[in-house]
Chains A and B, each alone.
Chain A
Protein backbone atom coordinates (compact mmCIF):
# COMPACT_ATOMS: atom_id res chain seq x y z
CA UNK A 1 0.00 0.00 0.00
CA UNK A 2 1.47 3.34 -1.02
CA UNK A 3 1.63 6.34 1.27
CA UNK A 4 -1.27 8.01 -0.57
CA UNK A 5 -3.36 4.85 -0.30
CA UNK A 6 -2.59 4.68 3.41
CA UNK A 7 -3.66 8.28 3.97
CA UNK A 8 -6.88 7.62 2.03
CA UNK A 9 -7.52 4.46 4.08
CA UNK A 10 -6.89 6.32 7.32
CA UNK A 11 -9.28 9.10 6.30
CA UNK A 12 -11.90 6.54 5.40
CA UNK A 13 -11.50 4.79 8.74
CA UNK A 14 -11.81 8.00 10.73
CA UNK A 15 -14.91 9.00 8.74
CA UNK A 16 -16.59 5.65 9.38
CA UNK A 17 -15.70 5.89 13.07
CA UNK A 18 -17.30 9.34 13.33
CA UNK A 19 -20.44 8.08 11.58
CA UNK A 20 -20.59 5.12 13.99
CA UNK A 21 -20.23 7.45 16.97
CA UNK A 22 -23.01 9.74 15.70
CA UNK A 23 -25.25 6.71 15.05
CA UNK A 24 -24.67 5.52 18.62
CA UNK A 25 -25.65 8.92 20.01
CA UNK A 26 -28.76 8.94 17.80
CA UNK A 27 -29.61 5.47 19.11
CA UNK A 28 -29.38 6.73 22.68
CA UNK A 29 -31.48 9.82 21.95
CA UNK A 30 -34.16 7.76 20.20
CA UNK A 31 -34.34 5.37 23.16
CA UNK A 32 -34.60 8.28 25.59
CA UNK A 33 -36.89 10.64 23.71
CA UNK A 34 -38.96 8.70 21.18
CA UNK A 35 -41.96 6.61 22.19
CA UNK A 36 -43.05 5.26 18.81
CA UNK A 37 -41.57 2.10 17.22
CA UNK A 38 -38.35 2.31 19.25
CA UNK A 39 -37.30 -1.34 18.60
CA UNK A 40 -37.70 -0.82 14.86
CA UNK A 41 -35.57 2.35 14.87
CA UNK A 42 -32.90 0.65 16.98
CA UNK A 43 -32.82 -2.35 14.64
CA UNK A 44 -32.42 -0.11 11.58
CA UNK A 45 -29.56 1.81 13.18
CA UNK A 46 -27.88 -1.38 14.45
CA UNK A 47 -28.05 -2.97 10.99
CA UNK A 48 -26.62 0.22 9.44
CA UNK A 49 -23.76 0.29 11.96
CA UNK A 50 -23.04 -3.40 11.41
CA UNK A 51 -23.03 -2.87 7.63
CA UNK A 52 -20.51 -0.04 7.95
CA UNK A 53 -18.20 -2.20 10.08
CA UNK A 54 -18.54 -5.28 7.86
CA UNK A 55 -17.94 -3.37 4.62
CA UNK A 56 -15.37 -0.73 5.62
CA UNK A 57 -13.56 -2.26 8.59
CA UNK A 58 -13.84 -5.98 7.85
CA UNK A 59 -13.49 -5.53 4.06
CA UNK A 60 -15.98 -8.29 3.28
CA UNK A 61 -15.42 -7.75 -0.46
CA UNK A 62 -11.82 -8.88 0.02
CA UNK A 63 -12.88 -12.46 0.64
CA UNK A 64 -12.94 -13.07 -3.11
CA UNK A 65 -9.41 -11.72 -3.55
CA UNK A 66 -6.28 -13.80 -3.33
CA UNK A 67 -3.87 -11.01 -2.53
CA UNK A 68 -3.52 -8.03 -0.22
CA UNK A 69 -4.60 -4.77 -1.81
Chain B
Protein backbone atom coordinates (compact mmCIF):
# COMPACT_ATOMS: atom_id res chain seq x y z
CA UNK B 1 0.00 0.00 0.00
CA UNK B 2 1.77 3.10 -1.22
CA UNK B 3 -1.19 5.43 -0.97
CA UNK B 4 -0.90 6.66 2.62
CA UNK B 5 -3.18 8.98 4.49
CA UNK B 6 -0.48 11.64 4.48
CA UNK B 7 -0.15 11.42 0.70
CA UNK B 8 -3.91 11.79 0.26
CA UNK B 9 -4.13 14.81 2.55
CA UNK B 10 -3.29 18.19 1.11
CA UNK B 11 -0.02 19.50 2.55
CA UNK B 12 -0.27 22.99 4.04
CA UNK B 13 1.07 25.68 1.72
CA UNK B 14 4.20 27.67 2.52
CA UNK B 15 2.08 30.81 2.95
CA UNK B 16 -0.21 29.13 5.48
CA UNK B 17 2.82 27.90 7.45
CA UNK B 18 4.35 31.39 7.37
CA UNK B 19 1.16 33.07 8.54
CA UNK B 20 0.47 30.53 11.27
CA UNK B 21 4.07 30.72 12.46
CA UNK B 22 3.98 34.52 12.62
CA UNK B 23 0.76 34.50 14.63
CA UNK B 24 2.30 32.00 17.07
CA UNK B 25 5.31 34.30 17.40
CA UNK B 26 3.05 37.31 17.98
CA UNK B 27 1.15 35.36 20.61
CA UNK B 28 4.34 34.48 22.45
CA UNK B 29 5.59 38.08 22.34
CA UNK B 30 2.22 39.20 23.69
CA UNK B 31 2.93 37.22 26.87
CA UNK B 32 5.91 39.47 27.62
CA UNK B 33 3.84 42.61 27.21
CA UNK B 34 0.93 41.17 29.20
CA UNK B 35 3.34 40.43 32.05
CA UNK B 36 4.64 44.02 31.93
CA UNK B 37 1.09 45.38 31.92
CA UNK B 38 0.19 43.20 34.89
CA UNK B 39 3.28 44.27 36.82
CA UNK B 40 2.40 47.94 36.17
CA UNK B 41 -0.98 47.46 37.81
CA UNK B 42 0.27 45.28 40.66
CA UNK B 43 3.24 47.49 41.58
CA UNK B 44 1.82 50.96 40.96
CA UNK B 45 -1.93 50.51 40.70
CA UNK B 46 -3.52 53.38 38.77
CA UNK B 47 -0.98 56.00 39.84
CA UNK B 48 0.35 58.30 37.13
CA UNK B 49 2.78 61.06 38.16
CA UNK B 50 1.69 64.57 37.29
CA UNK B 51 4.98 65.08 35.50
CA UNK B 52 4.05 62.51 32.82
CA UNK B 53 3.94 64.51 29.58
CA UNK B 54 0.44 63.96 28.18
CA UNK B 55 1.11 66.05 25.10
CA UNK B 56 4.11 64.01 23.95
CA UNK B 57 2.26 60.77 24.78
CA UNK B 58 -0.77 61.73 22.67
CA UNK B 59 1.46 62.94 19.86
CA UNK B 60 3.54 59.76 19.63
CA UNK B 61 0.40 57.63 19.94
CA UNK B 62 -1.06 59.46 16.93
CA UNK B 63 2.18 58.99 15.00
CA UNK B 64 2.23 55.25 15.69
CA UNK B 65 -1.44 54.90 14.67
CA UNK B 66 -0.71 56.74 11.44
CA UNK B 67 2.25 54.43 10.80
CA UNK B 68 -0.10 51.45 11.14
CA UNK B 69 -2.20 53.03 8.41
CA UNK B 70 0.77 53.46 6.12
CA UNK B 71 1.88 49.87 6.77
CA UNK B 72 -1.60 48.70 5.80
CA UNK B 73 -1.42 50.70 2.57
CA UNK B 74 2.03 49.29 1.84
CA UNK B 75 0.66 45.75 2.10
CA UNK B 76 -2.45 46.56 0.03
CA UNK B 77 -0.26 48.16 -2.66
CA UNK B 78 1.99 45.08 -2.76
CA UNK B 79 -1.08 42.85 -3.13
CA UNK B 80 -2.21 44.99 -6.09
CA UNK B 81 1.21 44.81 -7.74
CA UNK B 82 1.87 48.51 -7.17
CA UNK B 83 5.52 48.14 -6.15
CA UNK B 84 6.45 51.80 -6.30
CA UNK B 85 3.47 52.78 -4.16
CA UNK B 86 4.20 49.95 -1.72
CA UNK B 87 7.80 51.11 -1.39
CA UNK B 88 6.63 54.68 -0.73
CA UNK B 89 4.22 53.59 2.01
CA UNK B 90 6.91 51.38 3.56
CA UNK B 91 9.18 54.43 3.59
CA UNK B 92 6.53 56.50 5.33
CA UNK B 93 6.04 53.75 7.91
CA UNK B 94 9.74 53.70 8.71
CA UNK B 95 9.85 57.49 8.91
CA UNK B 96 6.87 57.62 11.27
CA UNK B 97 8.50 54.91 13.36
CA UNK B 98 11.58 57.09 13.62
CA UNK B 99 9.44 60.07 14.67
CA UNK B 100 7.86 57.86 17.33
CA UNK B 101 11.29 56.89 18.67
CA UNK B 102 12.42 60.53 18.75
CA UNK B 103 9.26 61.34 20.72
CA UNK B 104 10.01 58.53 23.16
CA UNK B 105 13.53 59.93 23.49
CA UNK B 106 12.16 63.36 24.42
CA UNK B 107 9.79 61.77 26.91
CA UNK B 108 12.61 59.76 28.47
CA UNK B 109 14.71 62.89 28.87
CA UNK B 110 11.94 64.54 30.88
CA UNK B 111 10.92 61.36 32.67
CA UNK B 112 14.47 60.68 33.82
CA UNK B 113 14.31 63.77 36.02
CA UNK B 114 10.65 63.49 37.01
CA UNK B 115 10.47 59.79 37.94
CA UNK B 116 13.90 58.24 37.97
CA UNK B 117 14.41 54.58 36.94
CA UNK B 118 15.07 53.54 40.55
CA UNK B 119 11.63 54.69 41.68
CA UNK B 120 8.57 52.43 41.48
CA UNK B 121 6.83 54.15 38.57
CA UNK B 122 10.17 54.89 36.90
CA UNK B 123 11.06 51.19 36.85
CA UNK B 124 7.77 50.29 35.25
CA UNK B 125 7.77 53.23 32.85
CA UNK B 126 11.24 52.71 31.45
CA UNK B 127 10.86 48.92 31.26
CA UNK B 128 7.56 49.10 29.41
CA UNK B 129 8.50 51.88 27.03
CA UNK B 130 11.98 50.45 26.56
CA UNK B 131 10.74 46.99 25.68
CA UNK B 132 8.20 48.49 23.31
CA UNK B 133 10.80 50.79 21.71
CA UNK B 134 13.07 47.78 21.16
CA UNK B 135 10.27 46.12 19.19
CA UNK B 136 9.76 49.33 17.22
CA UNK B 137 13.46 49.31 16.29
CA UNK B 138 13.38 45.66 15.19
CA UNK B 139 10.18 46.37 13.26
CA UNK B 140 11.91 49.24 11.47
CA UNK B 141 14.85 47.00 10.58
CA UNK B 142 12.43 44.43 9.20
CA UNK B 143 10.58 47.11 7.21
CA UNK B 144 13.89 48.49 5.94
CA UNK B 145 14.93 45.12 4.55
CA UNK B 146 11.53 44.72 2.89
CA UNK B 147 11.72 48.29 1.51
CA UNK B 148 15.06 47.46 -0.11
CA UNK B 149 13.77 44.23 -1.62
CA UNK B 150 10.66 45.99 -2.92
CA UNK B 151 12.96 48.49 -4.63
CA UNK B 152 14.81 45.54 -6.22
CA UNK B 153 11.49 44.25 -7.58
CA UNK B 154 11.56 41.02 -5.59
CA UNK B 155 7.81 40.89 -4.95
CA UNK B 156 4.70 40.33 -7.04
CA UNK B 157 0.96 40.18 -6.33
CA UNK B 158 1.31 36.39 -6.01
CA UNK B 159 4.36 36.54 -3.79
CA UNK B 160 4.71 39.35 -1.27
CA UNK B 161 4.78 37.48 2.04
CA UNK B 162 7.71 39.57 3.47
CA UNK B 163 5.66 42.75 3.00
CA UNK B 164 2.67 41.09 4.66
CA UNK B 165 4.80 39.70 7.49
CA UNK B 166 6.57 43.02 8.17
CA UNK B 167 3.24 44.89 8.16
CA UNK B 168 1.67 42.38 10.54
CA UNK B 169 4.59 42.68 12.95
CA UNK B 170 4.32 46.47 12.80
CA UNK B 171 0.58 46.33 13.53
CA UNK B 172 1.36 44.10 16.53
CA UNK B 173 3.75 46.76 17.85
CA UNK B 174 0.91 49.27 17.48
CA UNK B 175 -1.56 47.00 19.30
CA UNK B 176 0.86 46.80 22.22
CA UNK B 177 0.97 50.60 22.43
CA UNK B 178 -2.84 50.72 22.26
CA UNK B 179 -2.78 49.12 25.73
CA UNK B 180 0.44 50.66 27.04
CA UNK B 181 -0.55 54.26 26.34
CA UNK B 182 -3.67 54.35 28.55
CA UNK B 183 -1.98 52.14 31.15
CA UNK B 184 0.97 54.49 31.50
CA UNK B 185 -0.60 57.91 30.94
CA UNK B 186 -4.38 57.99 31.15
CA UNK B 187 -5.49 55.50 33.77
CA UNK B 188 -5.20 57.75 36.81
A positions within 8 Å CB-CB of B: 1-3, 5-6, 9-10, 13-14, 16-17, 20-21, 24, 27-28, 30-31, 38-39, 42-43, 45-46, 49-50, 53-54, 56-60, 62-68
* Residues of chain B lying within 8 A (CB to CB) of residue A49: 178
User: Are B62 and A13 in contact, CB atoms less than 8 angstroms apart?
Assistant: no
Chain B interface, >50% SS class: helix
Interchain nearest-CB distance for B173 vs A (Å): 10
CB-defined A-B contacts under 8 Å, sample of 5: A1-B76, A20-B65, A27-B186, A57-B72, A68-B158
Expressed in whole angstroms, the Cα–Cα distance for A20 and B19 within the complex equals 25
* Residues of chain A lying within 8 A (CB to CB) of residue B69: 13-14, 16-17
Interchain nearest-CB distance for A37 vs B (Å): 11
Expressed in whole angstroms, the Cα–Cα distance for A63 and B97 within the complex equals 26
Minimal Cβ-Cβ distance residue in B for A67: B15
